[in-house]
């Protein structure tokens, strides 16, 4: 899959595509259905299937100091798009220029002149341009003038409930990992590079791979049974803590993953941590001995839950 950052990097060869537009936070089952239709239309037209998205997301841009917890950072979203068979990912920086575009400007400058769109695939509630003034009806009206068609994809529901990023945040917040997995079509995953830590886990007999999250907020926190991939690992069982480490008065969000029965060096490697089951809240402990006792209980429970998931 080709990644293009910014309209200025589009070349004549990039013109002509079947396109969808959105934040795609989580790349969940609803998004995957959109991508399925997009690829189908791309095959029909003999054109690349392209997604146009933004950094930061529009919701983050407007929320400023208190954005909602992001489900997927840029790298995770890119990897998800690639895994679902997209041909091209065009990412625009969401800034004041993009925010202020009138719907006619967005259609002409971005969709037509920039991407040469031939077919649009959008959800029923799709909105765009300044003050969300553009809609599916706007695209249908503009299509004949600019030479593109529009396919509207209905809401994707599971058990009678519309799949959405907000719903997934709710399931993660309460630790319902099975429901989150059903809505996402895969376990919830966080990807990051292993950084050098305080080596506290190693001293306590539980060496951990520490992943700095570069997030102001996460949609979940606590201690989890996980599976870890990357750096030669494939779905390796483990236990992980996600939070600020109150036992050592920590303040920065950190993901600490202990891979069972593994002693290799993971420093500076990229890891994918899949959250399988939530074990408990992050807690403060009065002593390191009490912490170690709890870590042993967590590890035993994590092994049990992971074993049950395989049955």
Place of tokens 């990992």: 177
Least confident window among 64-73, 179-188, 298-307: 64-73
DSSP letter at 128 equals B
pLDDT digits (tens, 9 = 90+) for 6-44: 999 999 999 999 999 999 999 999 999 999 999 999 999
In the numeric block, which tokens belong to residue 164?
């959405």
Average pLDDT, whole number, for the chain? 92
Domain-wise residue ranges, the chain? 2-161, 187-310
Please report the pLDDT score of residue 198 as a whole number: 64
Q: How confident is the model at residue 202 (pLDDT cuts 50, 70, 90)?
A: low
Instruction: Average the pLDDT over 64-91 and give the result.
Output: 92
Give the DSSP per-residue string, 1-41: -EEEESGGG--GGG-SEEEEES--TT--HHHHHHHHHHHHH
Q: Which CATH superfamily is domain 2-161 in?
A: HUPs (3.40.50.620)
**Is residue 6 classed exposed, middle or buried when 0-12, 13-18 and 19+ CB atoms within 10 A define those classes?**
exposed
Q: Which residues does residue 291 pair with via DSSP β-bridges, in sequence order?
A: none
pTM, rounded to two decimals: 0.92
Cβ contact 59:99 at 8 Å: no
**What pLDDT score was predicted for residue 289?**
82
Gap between the Cα atoms of 95 and 137, Å rounded: 25
Residue 94 structure tokens: 């969401």
Taking the alpha carbons at both ends of the chain, their separation in whole angstroms is 35
Cis-peptide into 56, omega within 30 deg? yes
Could you tell me the fold of the domain covering 187-310?
A: Elongation Factor Tu (Ef-tu); domain 3 (2.40.30)
Are residues 227 and 238 in contact, defined by beta-carbon separation less than 8 angstroms? yes
Using pLDDT thresholds of 50, 70 and 90, give the confidence band for residue 214. Answer: confident
The answer, yes or no, to whether residue 90 has pLDDT greater than 90, is: yes
Confidence at residue 310, expressed as pLDDT on a 0 to 100 scale: 73
**Helix 177-184 and helix 165-173, axial crossing angle in degrees, nearest 10:** 160
């Amino acid at each position: 899959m080709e990644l293009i950052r910014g309209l200025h990097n589009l070349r004549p060869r990039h013109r002509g595509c079947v396109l969808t537009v959105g934040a795609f936070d989580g790349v969940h089952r609803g998004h995957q259905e959109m991508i399925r239709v997009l690829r189908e239309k791309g095959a029909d037209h003999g054109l690349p299937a392209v997604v146009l998205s933004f950094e930061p997301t529009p919701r983050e841009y407007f929320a400023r100091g208190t954005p909602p917890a992001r489900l997927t950072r840029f790298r995770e979203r890119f990897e998800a798009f690639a895994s679902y068979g997209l041909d091209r990912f065009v990412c625009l920086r969401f800034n004041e220029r993009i925010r202020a575009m009138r719907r006619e400007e967005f259609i002409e400058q971005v969709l037509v002149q920039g991407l040469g769109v031939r077919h649009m695939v959008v959800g029923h509630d799709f909105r765009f341009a300044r003050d969300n003034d553009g809609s599916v009806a706007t695209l249908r009206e503009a299509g004949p003038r600019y030479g593109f068609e529009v396919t509207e994809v209905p809401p994707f529901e599971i058990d009678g409930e519309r799949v959405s990023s907000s719903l997934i945040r709710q399931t993660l917040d309460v630790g319902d990992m099975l429901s989150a997995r059903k809505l996402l079509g895969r376990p919830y995953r966080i990807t990051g590079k292993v950084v050098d830590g305080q080596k506290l886990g190693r001293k306590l007999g539980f060496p951990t791979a520490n992943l700095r999250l570069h997030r102001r907020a996460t949609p979940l926190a606590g201690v989890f049974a996980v599976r870890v991939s990357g750096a030669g690992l494939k779905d390796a069982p483990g236990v992980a803590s996600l939070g600020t480490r109150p036992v050592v008065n920590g303040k920065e969000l950190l993901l600490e993953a202990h891979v069972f029965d593994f002693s290799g060096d993971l420093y500076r490697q990229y890891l994918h941590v899949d959250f399988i089951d939530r074990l408990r809240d992050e807690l403060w402990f009065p002593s390191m001995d009490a912490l170690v006792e709890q870590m042993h209980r967590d590890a035993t429970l994590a092994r049990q839950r992971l074993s049950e998931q395989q049955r």
